[in-house]
Amino acid sequence: MAGGLLGSMDSGWWPRGSSSFAAEVDGLFFLIAVIVGAWLLLCQAALFFFLWQASGRGGPGRLRGLQIETWSIVTLAVAVLACDLVVEAYGHPIWKLIVSAPRGNALVVQVQARQFVWEIRHPGADGRLATEDDIEVQNELHVPVGVPIELHLRSKDVIHSFFLPTVRLKQDVLPGVEIRRWFLPTRVGRFPLACAELCGFAHYRMGGALIVHDPESYQRWLAAGATAIGGLEQGVRR
Amino acid sequence: MDWNKAFAGEGVEQEVGSSSNTATARLASARGRRPRLWPAWLFSTDHKIIGLQYLGISVVMALVGVFGAYVLRWQLAFPGTPAPLYGIVDPGPYNAWLTMHGTIMMFFVAMPLLLGAFGNYFVPLMVGAEDMAFPRLNMISVWTLGLACLVLMASFLVAEGPAAAGWTNYVPLSADPVYTGVTLGADLWLVAVFLDFAAVLMSGINVLTTALNLRAPGLTLPRVPLFVWTQVIAAVLFLFSAGPLMGAILMLLSDRHLGSGFFAAERGGSPLLWQHLFWFFGHPEVYVILLPALGIFLEIFPTFARRPVAAARVIVVALWTSAALSFVVWAHHMFVSGMSPALALPFSITTIIISVPFAVVVFALIATLRGGMLRPSTAMCFAVGGLASFLIGGVTGIFLGAPAVDMYLHDTYFVVAHFHYTLFPAVVLGGFAGLYYWFPKVTGRMLDERLGKWHCWCTLVAFQAVFLPLFFLGVHGHMRRVYDPSYYDFLRPGIFLHQMATVAAVVLVLSQALVVWNVIRSLRKGEKAPSNPWGGTTLEWATTSPPVPGNFSEPVVVAHEPYHYTDCDRRREPVPQWML
Ligand SMILES: [Cu+2]
Ligand SMILES: [Cu+2]
Ligand SMILES: [Cu+2]
C-alpha cells in the first residue's frame, strides 16, 4: 500500500532526473543509502538482541570479555571510518563535476532573483547575451535539450536559492556576487523551478518552470520571442 | 558540619531545614506560608532550586514552541483552512512562527532543560559538592535567562510581530525591515538571543568550575560519571563557540542602527560572513544539546542493565574528539551558499569523519546491554527509544555531509527530518528519560511506572509517525519553510504525508497528558522514594530523596569508578561509588 501511495506522487517518490549529472547524484545517494542502511540495521538488531538477551530470566549473564568489548567497539569504529572514506572518494568527483566550468560551448543564461520573482534573460537567435535579441521571461527558464547551459546567478535584494529538483542543482543566489553554475538538460519537458531559501513572506510563491525544448520547438520559441519582446509567454508559476 | 551555611536562601531555609530535611516538606510549608517563602524561593542560590527554575522556564517556553509547531503543521497539512485555537495562518505569521519555533526550541527549551535543569541539579550532586562553585552567579544566570525570555515574548506584542527570518536569521533578510516587514521584533530577537547566551555562559562557567574544583575526596577524573563529562564538554563547547555569534549579533545590531556594513554587500560587507559566524557557533551548539542527552542515556543504561558501561574511558575520549571536530565542520551548512566550492572537500571530510566518535558512543551504549540483567523501567524505555531514534538522525546526516547529495537535499524536508531525528531524541526523549530516572531523587516520590510506559510508547510511536514522512517529502525535493506546498504542482501529491505528520503531531502532543497526570498524581500521593530506588552507583543516590540542604548529611568519599556491579549468589548487586 505504501508503494501505491508513494507511486501516486507525480514522478514517484524519487523524482526522475533530467540532467547529465543527475544519475551520478542519484547513484551517490543510493550508495550512501546502502552503506548507512546496513549500519543502521546492524545497530538496531544488536540493540534489540542484547535487550532481549538482558531481559532473559535466570541468573546473571556472564560479565566477562569487557576487554574484548572495547576492542570490538574500536574496530567497528575503524570500519565506520573506512565506509566514510568510500563515500568521500566516490562523492567528491561528482561534486567537482557539478561545480566545475561547463564542458564545450555553453549557452549562457542570466538569472536575476528579487523578492519574489526570477527574472531570466535568455540569449536570442544569436546565442549571445547582452544583445538586441535577448529574451527576458519571468519565472521560466527555456533551454534546448542536449546543450550545456551556463547560469549566471545574482540577486537584487536578499539571498534566494535557485533550485531545479530534477536537475539536482541548487545554488544560493547572493546580492553583490555573480555565481556561475551549469547543467546539461537531457530530457524534453516542463520541470519545476523553486526558491529553496527563505526570502520573505512570499518565499513559497517564488516558483517557476524549467522548460526543455527539442530543437524545433526551441527554434519556434526563439522566433516567437524575437517578435514579442519581453517573452512570448507571461511568466507562469511553477 | 553546618551545611546550612553553604545553603543560600539563608534564614528562611535554615529554619525549615532544621524542622525537616525534605524538599517536599519545604515546598509544603512554602504553600502554607507563601508570602514569606515565595521570594526566598525566587532569590535562592541553591543549585537544586535554580535547576527547578530552569526546568520551569523550559517547560513554559516549550508550550509556546510546541504551539508554534502546531500552527505550522496545521497550515502545511490543510493550507488556508483555519487552525483550531488559532485561525487562518497568513504567510507573514507563518514565517514568524517558524522562526520562533526554532529559536525557542533550540535556545529557550533545549539548553535550559539539558544544561540548566539537569546540569544544575545533578552536576553538584554527582561530584559530591554542596552547591555550585558560584551560587550567586548561578542565580544571575537564571535571572538573565528569564529576562531573555521576556524580551523574546515581548516581540509577540510589538506592532509587526516577532522576527521572521528563520532561526538562523540570515542576512540581508534579517538586516533590513523592508525585506520582512518586521522592525522591532527583529531587534528583540537579537537582544533575546544575546541575553540567552550570556545566561548559558554563566551557567557553563559554573558547571566547569564545579566539576573541576569541587569534587568529593577520591573522585579523581577517571572516576567522574559520564553525565558530568558530557556537561563539562558541553560547557567548554559553548564557551568557545558562543563568542563569535554574540559578536555577530552586535555587528548586526550595528548594521541595523549605526549604519555599519559588516554584512551588507552594498557597503563592502559580506552576507556570507553572518553564515560563517552563525554556523561556527551552530554546529557545536547541536552538540551542546546532544552530549548531555547522551550523558543521560549513559547513566540510565548501566543502572537498568546492571552492568558497567562498555569502554567507558574510550567514550570520554570519543566525546572530546567529537567536540574538537565540531569546530571544523561548520561549512557543511553552506555547501550551496556561494562560498568557494573548493572548501566543500575539507569540510565534507571532517563532517563525515565526525561520525566515528559518535559511532563509538553508540556502539558502547549498545554493548552496555550485553550480558546485562535488565530491569525494565520507563526511564530505560525512553533511553532505548531515544538511542534507536537518534541512530536514524545520525545516519541521515551522512547524506547531507556529501556535498553532491547535499546540493539536492539542502533546505528540503530531508534536513528538517534529519535534525528533528537528532534533536527530538536528545531533548524530548532524553529529557523524559532523565525525568523518569531522577524524579524520585528530586521529589522524594516515585512516578507510576505503568502510566510511564504508556507515555513512553505513545511518544515513541507518534514521534516516528511525525518525522518519518518528512524524509520522503525531502527526498521528493520538497523545500522547507514553504508556507503553502499546494502552490507547487510537484508538491501537491505529497500533502497526504503532511497530513499524516500533522495528525501524528497532535497525537504526540495529546499523549503528553499522561506525563502531566503522572507527575501531578505522584507529587500528591506517590509512593515515597528511597534514597537509591534504582540501584544507581553514582553519588546523587548517596543522599536522601530529595537531597537535604547542602546535598549530603555527611561528607562523601569516593572509593572507585562508577557503574560497578558484582555477581553474588546469582544476584547482581550495584557497588556504589561511595561504598568503601
Ligand atoms: Cu526567493
Ligand atoms: Cu525563497
Ligand atoms: Cu552542522
Instruction: Give me the pLDDT at residue B37, please.
Output: 62
* Cα torsion B163, B423, B460, A83: sign: positive
Whether A145 contacts chain B with CB within 8 A: no
Residue A228: band (very low, low, confident or very high) from pLDDT cuts 50, 70, 90 = low
Whether B346 contacts chain A with CB within 8 A: no
Cβ contacts from A onto B, under 8 A:
269
* Residue (of B483, B503, B486) closest to B166 by Cα position: B483
Whether A101 contacts chain B with CB within 8 A: no
Question: If you count DSSP H runs as helices and E runs as strands, how many of each does chain A have, helices first?
Answer: 4, 10
Residue A237: band (very low, low, confident or very high) from pLDDT cuts 50, 70, 90 = very low
Residue bearing cell 519574489: A116
Q: How far apart are CA A28 and CA A96, in angstroms?
A: 13
Q: Are A11 and B490 in contact (CB under 8 A)?
A: yes
Q: How far apart are CA A47 and CA B384, in angstroms?
A: 8
Across B430-456, b (16+ Cβ under 10 Å) vs e yields bbbbbbbbbbbbbbbbbbbeebbbbbb
Q: Give A149→chain B minimum CA distance, Å.
A: 18
* Residue (of B59, B14, B174) closest to B550 by Cα position: B14
Q: Are B379 and A64 in contact (CB under 8 A)?
A: no
Distances from the Cα of B93 to the Cα of B16, B26, B101, B303, angstroms: 49, 44, 12, 46
* Helix %, strand %, coil % of chain B (to 5): 70, 5, 25
Return the residue in B329, B354, B369 with the most chain A beta carbons within 10 A, the one to mutate for interface testing.
Answer: B369
Instruction: Give me the pLDDT at residue A105, please.
Output: 87
Q: Are the beta carbons of A200 and B391 separated by less than 8 Å?
A: no
Q: Which ligand places an atom closest to the C-alpha of B415?
A: 3
In what side-by-side order are the strands of the sheet with A169-173?
A140-144, A208-213, A189-195, A160-164, A169-173
Q: Are the beta carbons of A40 and B392 separated by less than 8 Å?
A: yes
* Residue (of B252, B142, B100, B140) closest to B190 by Cα position: B252
Residue A11: band (very low, low, confident or very high) from pLDDT cuts 50, 70, 90 = low
Q: Are the beta carbons of A9 and B305 separated by less than 8 Å?
A: no
Q: Are the beta carbons of A77 and B359 separated by less than 8 Å?
A: yes
Q: How far apart are CA A185 and CA A194, in angstroms?
A: 17
What Rg do the C-alpha atoms of chain B give, in angstroms? 24
Percent of chain A having pLDDT more than 90? Answer: 74
Q: What's chain A's length in residues? A: 238
In terms of DSSP bridges, do strands A189-195 and A160-164 run parallel, antiparallel, or are they unpaired? antiparallel
Q: Give A155→chain B minimum CA distance, Å.
A: 11
Q: Which residue from B172, B308, B567 is facing A66, i.e. has the nearest CB?
A: B308
Say whether pLDDT at A47 is over 70: yes
B233 CA → ligand 1 middle, Å: 39
Which set of grid coordinates corresponds to residue A36?
548507512
**Over the stretch A20-37, which tens digit does the pLDDT of each residue have?**
999 999 999 999 999 999
Whether A8 contacts chain B with CB within 8 A: yes
Spacing of C-alpha B363 from chain mean position: 22
What does the pLDDT profile of chain B (580 residues) look like in tens digits? Answer: 333 333 333 333 333 333 334 444 444 444 444 445 677 788 899 999 999 999 999 999 999 999 999 999 999 999 999 999 999 999 999 999 999 999 999 999 999 999 999 999 999 999 999 999 999 999 999 999 999 999 999 999 999 999 999 999 999 999 999 999 999 999 999 999 999 999 999 999 999 999 999 999 999 999 999 999 999 999 999 999 999 999 999 999 999 999 999 999 999 999 999 999 999 999 999 999 999 999 999 999 999 999 999 999 999 999 999 999 999 999 999 999 999 999 999 999 999 999 999 999 999 999 999 888 899 999 999 999 999 999 999 999 999 999 999 999 999 999 999 999 999 999 999 999 999 999 999 999 999 999 999 999 999 999 999 999 999 999 999 999 999 999 999 999 999 999 999 999 999 999 999 999 999 999 999 999 999 999 999 999 999 999 999 999 998 999 999 999 888 777 788 999 998 7
Q: Are the beta carbons of B373 and A60 separated by less than 8 Å?
A: yes
Nearest CA in chain A to B494: A9
* Residue ranges covered by each domain of chain A: 2-99, 107-237
* Residue (of A159, A162, A161, A163) closest to A175 by Cα position: A159
Say whether pLDDT at A98 is over 70: yes
- The DSSP symbol for B81 reads S
Across B415-427, b (16+ Cβ under 10 Å) vs e yields bbbbbbbbbbbbb
Tell me which chain A residues have a C-beta less than 8 angstroms from the C-beta of B411.
161, 163, 170, 196-197
Q: Which residue from A53, A84, A177 is facing B338, i.e. has the nearest CB?
A: A177
Long-range contacts of B6-11 (CB under 8 A, 24+ apart): B6/B130, B6/B131, B6/B550, B7/B46, B7/B130, B7/B131, B7/B549, B7/B550, B8/B44, B8/B45, B8/B46, B8/B131, B8/B135, B8/B136, B9/B40, B9/B41, B9/B43, B9/B44, B9/B45, B9/B46, B9/B49
In terms of DSSP bridges, do strands A179-183 and A169-173 run parallel, antiparallel, or are they unpaired? unpaired
Whether B314 contacts chain A with CB within 8 A: yes
Whether B375 contacts chain A with CB within 8 A: no
If one counts every other C-beta atom within 10 angstroms of the C-beta of residue B580, the result is: 7
A114 CA → ligand 2 middle, Å: 9
Which set of grid coordinates corresponds to residue A201?
513572506
Residues 6+ apart with CB under 8 A from A170: A161, A162, A163, A164, A196, B336, B407, B408, B410, B411
Say whether pLDDT at A179 is over 60: yes
User: Looking at this protein, which amino acid is placed at residue A97?
Assistant: L
Which set of grid coordinates corresponds to residue B79?
493550507
B338 CA → ligand 3 middle, Å: 17
Tell me which chain A residues have a C-beta less than 8 angstroms from the C-beta of B337.
172
Q: Are the beta carbons of A44 and B391 separated by less than 8 Å?
A: yes
Which set of grid coordinates corresponds to residue A159?
539571498
* Residue ranges covered by each domain of chain B: 46-579
- Peptide bond just before B162 cis, omega within 30 deg: no
Q: How far apart are CA B34 and CA B12, in angstroms?
A: 12
* In this structure, CATH architecture of domain A107-237: Sandwich (2.60)
User: Looking at this protein, which amino acid is placed at residue A201?
Assistant: F
Q: How far apart are CA B386 and CA B426, in angstroms?
A: 7
- The DSSP symbol for B21 reads -
A90 CA → ligand 3 middle, Å: 22
Backbone angles phi, psi at A190, to 5 degrees: -115, 120
Q: How far apart are CA B392 and CA B387, in angstroms?
A: 9
Q: Are the beta carbons of B481 and A9 separated by less than 8 Å?
A: no
> What's the number of CA atoms in the CB half-sphere (13 Å) around residue B67?
11
B207 CA → ligand 1 middle, Å: 43
Q: How far apart are CA B174 and CA B351, in angstroms?
A: 28
- Peptide bond just before B493 cis, omega within 30 deg: no
Instruction: Give me the pLDDT at residue A227, please.
Output: 58
H helical segments located in B402-494: 403-409, 413-424, 430-443, 449-475
Residues 6+ apart with CB under 8 A from B73: B498, B501, B502, B505
Q: Are the beta carbons of B404 and A24 separated by less than 8 Å?
A: yes
Neighbours of ion ligand 2 (CB under 5 A): A 195, 199, 203, 206
| Nearest 10 degrees: Cα torsion B322, B328, B330, B331 | -140
Q: Which residue from B337, B338, B352 is facing A87, i.e. has the nearest CB?
A: B352
Coil vs helix vs strand at B453: helix
* Residue (of A138, A24, A48, A127) closest to B381 by Cα position: A48
Tell me which chain A residues have a C-beta less than 8 angstroms from the C-beta of B402.
28, 32, 87-88, 91, 95
- Peptide bond just before A116 cis, omega within 30 deg: yes
Q: Are A149 and A127 in contact (CB under 8 A)?
A: no
Residues 6+ apart with CB under 8 A from B230: B291, B292, B294, B295, B298, B319
Q: Are the beta carbons of A200 and B372 separated by less than 8 Å?
A: no
Whether B26 contacts chain A with CB within 8 A: no
Angle between helix axes B355-367 and A66-99 (nearest 10 degrees) is 150
Q: Are B283 and B326 in contact (CB under 8 A)?
A: yes
Full DSSP string of B483-545: S-GGGSGGGGGGHHHHHHHHHHHHHHHHTTHHHHHHHHHHHHHPPBP-SSTT---SGGGTS-S
CATH code for the structural domain at B46-579: 1.20.210.10
Whether A201 contacts chain B with CB within 8 A: yes
Instruction: Give me the pLDDT at residue A120, please.
Output: 96
Whether A203 contacts chain B with CB within 8 A: yes
ipTM metric: 0.92
Tell me which chain B residues have a C-beta less than 8 angstroms from the C-beta of A165.
408, 477, 490
